[in-house]
Amino acid sequence: MMWKTLLVVSLFCWGKCQDSQNMTPEEKGVIRDQIVEMFDHAYGSYMKYAYPADELMPLSCRGRVRGQEPNRGDIDDSLGKFSLTLIDTLDTLVVLNKLDEFEEAVKKAVSDVRLDNDVVVSVFETNIRVLGGLLGGHVMADLLRQRGERMQWYRDELLHMAKELGHRLLPAFNTTSGLPYPKVNLRYGVLNPLSRTGTESDTCTACAGTMILEFAALSRLSGNSVFEEHARKALDVLWERRQRGSDLVGTVINIHNGEWVRRDSGVGAGIDSYYEYLMKAYILLGDNVFLDRFNVHYSAIMKYISQPPLLLNVHMHNPTVSVRSWMDSLLAFFPGLQVLRGDLKPAIETHEMLYQVTKQHKFLPEAFTTEFRVHWGQHLLRPEFAESTYYLYKATGDPYYLRVGQSIVEKLNAYARVPCGFAAVQDVRTGTHEDRMDSFFLAEMFKYLYLMFSEKSHLPIDMDGYIFTTEAHLLPISLSTTQPPCPGNDTETVRISQEDLFTHSCPSTDTLFPNNPSFAKTIRDGYKYLTGVGRAFHPLPIREIELPLHDNGMEPVEFFKSMGISLTPLNEANMGDTGRLKEHKGVYRVKLVAELSQAPEEEVVVPHVVQLISPPFLGRTVLTAGPAKFGMDLTKQEHGVKGSIVKASPYTACGPIDNAAGLKGHIALALRGDCMFAAKARWLQKAGAIGVIFIDHREGSNSEETPLFQMVGDGDSTEDITLPLVFLFSREGAVLTAALEKHHNVDVLLLPKERQLGRDKMERVSMNLKFRLAEEGEMEGGAASGPTLEFVLENDEVLLKDEGEEELREKQQSEQQQSCTEESDRTQPSQIPGS
């Protein structure tokens, strides 16, 4: 079994591969030092400003403590008050040769971290970041201790903590199917009345399918098979539930009955690490069943999802139909996984596409369209693109990938670095920052970057002996032999007949591309100008096209015209020698006058508004809102949709609505986060709401700084949703909630901005107003009747006096409020997935 593992791992050909000819060792050393300096800045800032908090808030220079900051929805479920970033960083310290800091950090983790907090956390995130972090830390600590130089005090404390955490996660597996609950209370488990969990019925495929590496490692290191058994069972269910026709899985599954809740299938968000863990479980544990399953899924992915260089999402039951026109940034890990499988060509193609996108937008946006436009502009300092770049460099030895790595380093420094660390980018189009530095930035990004620029001699450990978990924690591949397979190993076996070049081996690039040492470049060249960036302008050549006379007797020009294509005939002078051929029957010489636009127009988002119409607002407060791609199309409603607003309870509206009676017939306010927009809309529609205003949960977001986007559905049909839906950024949302608090009854109108009430009138008034200075004495005899304006010139300033001064001041205030929304009347691209 193990030889297969080693074959796969041997793809990492440190010594054998061609060395980076275009980057000298000195240059690599400079970049390596730069990476270490950046790590020191990020980790040092966390330790200085945030520890023992879970995460650093790099703009506020303080720690993020759950409950003390505004709730961000499900993102916060990674925070368990267990010094997340410290634990997630432990083995990075070893890889970067910071052994003193590592020893110090382990001591802190052992003495300070508690795992029994009364906090509801995500099972998936806690497993990959905290359990993985503790295990990676233990493996490193154990290794250093064995070398006899340091860590002599260490008595497996991190492993004991890992065991404790494993036991705290186990209650999540207490379902009839064996699929885990998505959340668990670290102190009270799942079904305890104090746990505040257990009402969830769905989980994502990756959430259920990304346990095996950590749980099997825990079982084998602790001698307790219970963890591995549960993780295997969950994988068995997912395998069992694959769509038998397509061999694909969906994105969300019901944990009680195993039915698919979302049937869209891709390799990015919601599914990604399920596939990764099948492949890596085979490498780590040497168990064929995982490789067999991986291969079945991989064939399906390559048949339906991979359309190099794109990776699309399809419907698992009808996989020839793609379900959306955008890709998410999580799928950037996939070329790395393809490298592990030895399938280099599509890996190179997709990676090159991703590189082109980063060139265009500086970072990979959270989501981008199949035409490489921004779909969702956020960038969270995710490491997936660096990860794939690392794998490709190791597999090909091509210095091109070092240059890609260097560009990642430079962009992080130029566009994400702030005085207290590195900040996520709120929108790659504006470059604005967000007050977050997720722990994976330290766990993953710095490992992949540092390893890319290091030789074996720079590293304190032999990387060939380890596998990276999805959070880049290090687990030794010796685990499959140091411990016997666990007794309860009842993973369903499957014999798969299909075998190909890759099934049991890892072909070298010589096999794949014989006689072509620059194979990677040849593949990349085809995708060089995919996004139009970096392409030099060349005048269009005159091309000669032979147009046969059509059978129906139509002249070619007419024939093309009938298809909507117009041709420009060349004049004699331009045609040179070929002009004489013009006489030939059925042969035309034409100049190609158009080609596909290099930079396609951005997708138009029609700005909408929420207009407050009840007293005292009377239409003067207008909040710029984003539309939805699903639900009622407000552009087709002549007068918009009117109603009074009621806050949903729960405010996130991700489950049954408690105040359905109060919401019935009203427009609901719901907070973004925790679940998809479509899911919220369904709950609110069921409760009887007549419209929904979603309010952003990201503090301080506003329509002036962030481009509007269109909310999109959940990948499945959203035809059942008939409500009008609009989205407000949090600053505009705050105006609305403040109004509701003060006046209790607030009527609003939801409609496209161009149709907001009073807009025509305002424009007319402003065009027709004329002023003239009154003649001296003209006003004195009461010459003017009705409201008058008087300008008094005094000290070079113009003061405005009015008979109804108070009224006017009020009006000015409300117009100021209004103009702050009107200025943001920008038509911007993008839609946003889920929430």
Site of interaction with ligand DMJ (CB under 6 A): 128, 273, 330, 382-384, 440, 470-471
Between 189 and 336, CB nearer to ligand DMJ: 336
384 is catalytic: yes
CA–CA separation, 595 and 529 (whole Å): 14
Q: Quote the least distance from Cβ 379 to ligand DMJ, whole Å.
A: 10
Q: How far is the CB of 592 from ligand DMJ (least distance, A)?
A: 43
Nearer to ligand DMJ, 271 or 693 (CB): 271
Read off the DSSP letter of residue 127: I
Q: Which is nearer to ligand DMJ, 326 or 630 (CB)?
A: 326
Which of residues 157 and 434 has its CB atom nearest to ligand DMJ in the complex? 434
Alpha carbons 290 and 340: distance in angstroms, whole number: 14
Backbone angles phi, psi at 30, to 5 degrees: -65, -45
- 798-832 in b/e burial notation, b at 16+ Cβ within 10 A? eeeeeeeeeeeeeeeebeebbebbbebeeebbbbb
The DSSP code sequence of 417-479 is EETTEE-EEEETTTTEEES-B-HHIIIIIHHHHHHHT--GGG-SS-GGGEEE-TT--EEETTH
- Residue closer to ligand DMJ (CB basis): 103 or 471: 471
**352 or 387: CB nearest ligand DMJ:** 387
Residue 334 Cβ vs ligand DMJ, minimum distance, rounded to whole Å = 12
∠ CA 488-492-493, nearest 5°, is 115
CA distance 731 to 798: 33
Q: Rounded to the nearest 5 degrees, what angle is found at the Cα of 265, between the Cα atoms of 261 and 271?
A: 85
CB nearer ligand DMJ, residue 136 or residue 626: 136
Annotated catalytic residue within 77, 125, 264, 438: 125
CA distances from 28 to 227, 455, 814 (A): 42, 10, 59
**220: which residues sit within 8 A by CB, 6+ positions away?**
228, 479, 482, 483, 486
Nearer to ligand DMJ, 213 or 463 (CB): 213
- Between residues 267 and 622, which has the closer beta carbon with respect to ligand DMJ? 267
Rounded to the nearest whole angstrom, what is the least distance from the CB of residue 616 to ligand DMJ in the complex?
Answer: 47
Given the complex with ligand DMJ, which of 273 and 491 has the nearer CB atom? 273
CB neighbour class for 296 (10 Å; exposed up to 12, middle 13-18, buried from 19): middle
Let me know if 431 is exposed, middle or buried by CB neighbors in 10 A (0-12, 13-18, 19+): middle
- How far is residue 170's CA from residue 333's CA, in Å, rounded to a whole number? 28
CB of 742 to ligand DMJ, least distance (A): 41
Residues 6+ apart with CB under 8 A from 573: none
Q: In this structure, is the dihedral angle defined by the CA atoms of residues 766, 772, 773 and 776, taken in order, positive or negative? A: negative
Q: Does residue 272 have an active-site annotation? A: yes
- Which residues touch 159 (CB under 8 Å, ≥6 apart)? 134, 135, 138, 221, 222
234: left (phi over 0), alpha (psi -120 to 50) or beta: alpha
**CA pair distance 170, 164, nearest whole angstrom:** 10
What interhelical angle do 99-112 and 84-95 show, nearest 10? 160
DSSP states of 660-689 as a string? HHHHTTSEEEEESBSB-HHHHHHHHHHTT-
Q: The tokens 């990776």 sit on which residue?
A: 311
Q: Based on CB atoms, which residue is closest to ligand DMJ, 206 or 622?
A: 206
Strands 417-418 and 62-64, sheet pairing: unpaired
Smallest distance from ligand DMJ to CB 387, Å: 8
Report the C-alpha gap between 91 and 439 in whole angstroms. Answer: 13
**What amino acid occupies position 147?**
R
Active-site annotation holder among 384, 471, 696, 714: 384
- For residue 332, the minimal CB distance to ligand DMJ (Å) is 9
* Beta carbon nearer to ligand DMJ, 273 or 702: 273
Options 88, 101, 272, 328, the catalytic residue: 272
Choice between 279 and 623, CB closer to ligand DMJ: 279
User: Is residue 62 within a helix (H) or strand (E), and if so which, with residue range?
Assistant: strand 62-64
Supply the minimum distance, in Å, between the C-beta of residue 350 and ligand DMJ: 17
Q: What is the smallest separation between the CB atom of 384 and ligand DMJ, expressed in angstroms?
A: 6
From CA 819, how far away is CA 76, in angstroms rounded?
A: 35
248 and 314 in contact (C-beta within 8 Å)?
A: yes
Minimum distance of ligand DMJ from residue 415's CB (angstroms): 18
Specify the long-range contacts of residues 29-33, CB closer than 8 Å, at least 24 apart. Answer: 29/453, 31/405, 31/406, 31/409, 31/453, 32/450, 32/453, 32/454, 32/458
State how far the Cα of 628 lies from the Cα of 750, in Å rounded to an integer. Answer: 12
Rounded CA gap, 48 and 61, in Å? 9
Annotated active-site residue in 202, 366, 398, 603: 366
Sequence-separated contacts (24+) of 595-602 with Cβ below 8 Å: 595/540, 598/529, 598/532, 598/535, 599/532, 600/371, 600/373, 602/373, 602/828, 602/829
What b-and-e string marks burial along 113-148, b requiring 16 or more CB atoms within 10 Å of the CB? bebebebbbbbbbbbbbbbbbbbbbbbbbbbbbeee
Catalytically active residues are 125, 272, 366, 384
